[in-house]
Amino acid sequence: MATDLAASPQSRSIAEEAMLYLTSHHPDRGEITADPYRFFDRLREHAPVYRTAQGPILVTSYDATQQLVKDRRWSREEMDGKEGVTPTQQIFLESLAFRDPPDHTRLRAVVSRLFTPRAVEQNRQDVSEIVQELLDGLRDRAEFDFIQDFSYKVPLRLICRLVGVPPTMEDDFLAWGEALHGSLEPLAQPADVAARREATAAECFAYFEELIKERRANPGGTDIISQLIQASPGEITDLEIIANCMLLHSAGFSTTKNLIANGMHLLLTHPGAYDDLRANPDVIPSAVEEMLRYEGPARNSLCRIAPEEMELDGVRIHKGEHVYAILSAANRDPAVFEDPHRFDIRRGNSRHATFGGGIHMCLGASLARLEAQVAFAHLAAAPRLALNTDRVEWLGSFLTRGMAALPVRWA
């Protein structure tokens, strides 16, 4: 029988709010989806490392999340041997995000070559061209959806260029990115939704499989797949290339799309910050870091599993228990960030936890930063935007923080 949680948030227990947080579809979940930060504050004050009745352990303090993500003893192989693993999740098991050392070490050494500072910087001109082309195409439209028409398309078009596929594949890559990221959600999803995602993700797998065959037949390219194929024999298998390409597509697409959209929403709802950024473009790098902290695209880290009896911030964790670092809670920890619920693009403290840490720190962090910085540099020089809605709808994702739409107009 469903629990009745219609009471006001103030009258709910921590256990009730935690249950809502861990339930993907509940009629009362909307409040925590729209504004989870009050719950995070309550949970952090009550127990920074909290064992829920549903099983997962939630970590909300900055110090404890850093202990968790930086301690390489914790395992990331959460789906290995688990019942009910979907075909897409099974493929993801071959990617570096779901592997422990020594396999993780081997794969990261290969894939990280794509994200050296020099390699990332070489994308700046491409990103600038993409952003300007998108904005030019929107100038004649009085109003538009900032996500669907802009923040979606910046990483999407860059991914297509990096992989070496034609612009005509954009719609397919968009559908694949959404399906792939959805398949990583740990909360139970309706069967029909999961089935559609699996079918769409299977198309992505088949496409990358054929692309690898084509690139092997025509070696010497500079795209991502060609570079991975050129790795020394034994460094990476074809299945691992597919899995890591799917991971990069999923993570890079979702993270950057939400970073740019969430950041724009913050500027539109904080006009003083918007004015400052437009008048002083040199503040953009600091502004992007504050966007990552205040309303970052990563809500929770991927799961860590205790391989043995462990201790985290004084709490005993039993072998096999699943632990999640709530990164967006860590980013609002008053023990680390002064006045943490204030959006300040000149804060200057970039110690946020958005990209995780340790051996599983997000490989594409530098590329996401570059895309956001370039996007906001162009947006600062463009005519001013204004919100075209009284209220946005936040997605009920466990892993990410993003909106369903962001209607805007030229002001």
Query: Which of the given ranges, 161-170, 268-277, 301-310, has the highest pLDDT on average?
Result: 268-277
Sign of the alpha-carbon torsion through 78, 79, 80, 84: positive
**Residue 385 three-state SS:** strand
For residue 320, how many other CB atoms are within 10 A of its CB?
Answer: 10
Q: Which two tokens stand for residue 356?
A: 């995780």
Q: How many CB atoms lie within 10 A of CB 50?
A: 18
**H, E, C per residue of 307-328:** CCCEEECCEEECCCCEEEEEHH
Determine what percent of the chain is predicted with pLDDT higher than 70.
94
Residue count (the chain) = 411
pLDDT (tens digit per residue) in 247-263: 887 777 889 999 999 99
Most confident of 29-38, 217-226, 309-318: 309-318
C-alpha span between 352 and 331 (Å, rounded): 5
Taking the C-alpha atoms of residue 356 and residue 398, their distance in angstroms, rounded to an integer, is 15
pLDDT of residue 252: 78
Looking at the predicted structure, is the pLDDT value of residue 194 above 60?
yes
Distance CA 292, CA 350 (A): 9
Comparison of pLDDT for 268 and 54, the residue scoring more: 268
Mean pLDDT calculated for residue range 273-292: 97
Q: Token digits for 324?
A: 């999640």
What's the mean pLDDT in 226-230? Answer: 89
CB count, 10 Å around CB of 206?
11
If you average pLDDT over residues 124-138, what whole number do you get?
A: 97
Mean pLDDT of the chain: 89
* Cα dihedral 403→404→410→411 (10° resolution): -50
pLDDT tens digit string along 23-64?
A: 866 666 778 888 999 999 999 999 999 999 988 999 999 999
386-406 pLDDT tens trace: 999 999 999 888 888 999 999
Tokens for 12?
A: 């709910």
Q: Tell me what pLDDT residue 66 has.
A: 96
Q: Cα separation of 278 and 162, whole Å?
A: 30
CB 74 within 8 A of CB 61: no
C-alpha span between 374 and 127 (Å, rounded): 7
Residue with tokens 């894939």: 111
List all residues 6 or more positions away from 243 whose beta carbon is below 8 Å from its beta carbon: 91, 92, 93, 94, 95
CB 69 within 8 A of CB 356: yes
Average pLDDT of the residues in 274-303: 95
Query: Exposure of 287 by Cβ count < 10 A (0-12 exposed, 13-18 middle, 19+ buried)?
Result: buried
Separation CA 123–CA 265 (nearest Å): 25
- Structural domains in the chain plus CATH codes: 9-410 (1.10.630.10)
State the first-to-last Cα distance of the chain, in angstroms, to the nearest integer: 50
Structure tokens at 116: 């050296």
Higher-pLDDT residue of 220 and 279 is: 279
For residues 119-130, one letter each, b for 16 or more C-beta atoms within 10 angstroms of the residue's C-beta and e for the rest, the string is ebeebeeebeeb
Specify the higher pLDDT residue, 170 or 7: 170
Gap between the Cα atoms of 239 and 259, Å rounded: 30
Question: For residues 76 and 78, what is the distance between their CA atoms, to the nearest angstrom?
Answer: 5
- What per-residue confidence (pLDDT) applies to 90? 81
Mapping DSSP to helix (H, G, I), strand (E, B) and coil, where does residue 219 land? coil
C-alpha 23/C-alpha 372 separation (Å) is: 31
> For the segment 197-208, what is each residue's pLDDT rounded down to a tens digit?
888 888 888 888
Rounded mean pLDDT, 92-106: 90
Q: What is the pLDDT of residue 4?
A: 36
Which amino acid belongs to residue 329?
A
Run of H or E including 137: helix 124-138
**Angle at the Cα of 104 from the Cα atoms of 101 and 106, rounded to 5 degrees:** 100
Helix (H) or strand (E) holding 148, with range, is none
pLDDT recorded at residue 330: 97
Cβ atoms of 330 and 353 closer than 8 Å: yes
Q: How much is the pLDDT for 243? A: 87
pLDDT in tens, 332-382: 999 999 999 999 999 987 799 999 999 999 989 999 999 999 999 999 999
User: Which pLDDT score is estimated for 350?
Assistant: 77
Taking the C-alpha atoms of 73, 357, 78 and 235 in order, what is their torsion angle to the nearest 10 degrees? -90
Q: Quick check: 205 and 97 in contact, CB under 8 A?
A: no
Q: Find out whether the peptide bond into 190 is cis, omega within 30 degrees of 0.
A: no
